[in-house]
Amino acid sequence: MGFIKEFKEFAVKGNVVDLAVGVIIGAAFGKIVSSLVEDVITPLLLNPALKAAGAENIAKLTWNGVAYGNFLSAIINFLCIALVLFIMIKGINKINKKEESAPAGPTDDQKLLMEIRDLLKSKNNI
C-alpha cells in the first residue's frame, strides 16, 4: 500500500496539477495564436505583400535544387506569431498594470535614528 499512497501524493501535488493545467491552457492558447496568425494576419497582411513580391506560394521556392521555401515560410510564421504574442502581452500588461504605490514611510528604527540625528545637530549648534 505504501507505493500507491506515495504515487497518489505525487500525482495530486499542487505543482503537478498546476503544471498540467498550464500545459493544457498553453496548448489551447497556442491554437488561438496560430489561428489568429494563419486565418487573420496572413490573409490580411502577408498574402498581399507576397503577391506584390511575386511569391504567392512561398513554400515552393527553390534555389539550385534546394527547397528553402518551407524554411522561409516557417521563419515568417515564427516572426508573425512572435509579433502577435508581443502585442497581446503588451496589451495584457497595460490592462493589468498596477498603480504604483507611494513609498512606505520610515520604520520605527529609522524614525529613532532621525530623532537622534536631529538631537545631535541641535546639540552641536548650541
CB 75 within 8 A of CB 61: no
Residues pairing with 66 in the sheet: 63
Please list the ranges in the chain whose pLDDT falls under 50: none
- Torsion, CA 38, CA 40, CA 41, CA 45, rounded to 10: 120
CB 72 within 8 A of CB 61: yes
CA-based max dimension of the chain: 94
Q: Classify residue 89 by its DSSP letter.
A: H
CB 62 within 8 A of CB 71: no
- Torsion, CA 72, CA 77, CA 78, CA 83, rounded to 10: 130
**Rounded CA separation 83/7 (Å):** 42
Would you state the pLDDT for residue 1? 66
pTM for this predicted structure = 0.47
Would you state the pLDDT for residue 114? 92
C-alpha cell at 24: 493544457
Q: What are the structural domain ranges in the chain?
A: 2-98
